[in-house]
Structure 1
Amino acid sequence: MSSRQYSDSLRVGILLALTGGFLDAYTYISRGNVFANAQTGNMVMLGINFMEGNFRGIINYIIPIIAFAIGVLLAEVIRTKLSKSEKFHWRQAVLAIEIILLIFVAFIPFDYVANTIISFICAMQVESFRKFHGNAYATTMCTGNLRSGTEKLVIFIRNKDKKHLKIAFQYYFIIFIFCLGATMGGLITLNMGLKAVLIAIIPLILALIVMSYE
């Protein structure tokens, strides 16, 4: 199996979803009740602060949004530059960057800076890992996975094709793993504080190993 196929495997998706859930719980509990993985909430709060004329609030919410966009941009630059590399897969470079940045986050006392970096990390991850077995999914949020899984379930009910039931199960399983990661992240963060983010590195390292294995 090629490294590209490994990067699209369900095993890698499980490890990344575990990290995604962990980071959401981490930022909410220890970094100012913020969900840094997805930007919808930040955009809503940006609009509210703009309406209230709260300039400081505008800055606090617009920076993670910009960081998320830059993360997507950097992931695409890495893909373009390294897509033909024979030494390693370009997604491995993305995971290596995530690991390094999360180590820095553990030692950053400023919540908005840490949340901005995590937004950047999640953008790189969601842009780089978008499929398992040819099906689109996300490892840093659940809305799209819930929609896709339910859609496949409805198709199965309609035409009894077990292939769609299997895919629906895979989507729901990714959601379960994300929730499991959030539970672990919450418990570990309550006990370790800001340094808990170092535990989130473990699934990323395992994903890197899986992708490196041939």
Structure 2
Amino acid sequence: MEGDAVRQEPGALSEEQAARMLAGMNEVIRAGEEMRRLRTEMIRLFAGFGWTQDKIARITQMSQPAVSKQMTRFAADEPLPRLGVALQQHDVAWLEGRLWALAEEVAETLDAARCARFVAALARGRRRFTPQSTDELRRLLEADLRLGAAELPAAFRTAYDEISRGLDTGAEPAGPASAAASVRRTVARQLQRDRLRGDA
């Protein structure tokens, strides 16, 4: 054998193939870790609502002992997060959650929506919200709303205008004892989807 050359068995993975495969796995693992952190933050939020461990376990589809274990990790002197559930909040994470919900609804309503791939990447944890990605999603949504105006409810444009105005005029910071950004984004996303579907 010469130098570092490695003899490869026929039918074996190449180093390049293995690297690509592991890169995909690492994305799934990172997304899984982020979802576990989000679930922990949501449990903290639900505890702040005064919900019992049994109720939280039922909602999160976890066992009561698992919820109890999560709750014992919270520092006793650390205040539980607060979160208002009014749709009209103006911090960045909240507005991003609303934007995400609107993009999901547009992607489900329009055939060949420009924002569909972005939404799918967010859902799989391959994209994260940054100022740049938020601007990109806004551009995609703007194009979808303009080109699909005849197919989309007017409420979609109204929601987009309201969210964009909030992002453009300088979003307000969330309060100091407020829930984590990921929790705020998740709750806003669900509330906005419910509103757009007429469930709220």
TM-score of the aligned structures, taking structure 2 as reference length: 0.27
Structure with the larger RCO, 1 or 2 (CA within 8 Å, 6+ apart): 1
TM-score of the aligned structures, taking structure 1 as reference length: 0.26
Larger CA Rg, structure 1 vs 2: 2
Which structure's residues are more often helix, by fraction? 1
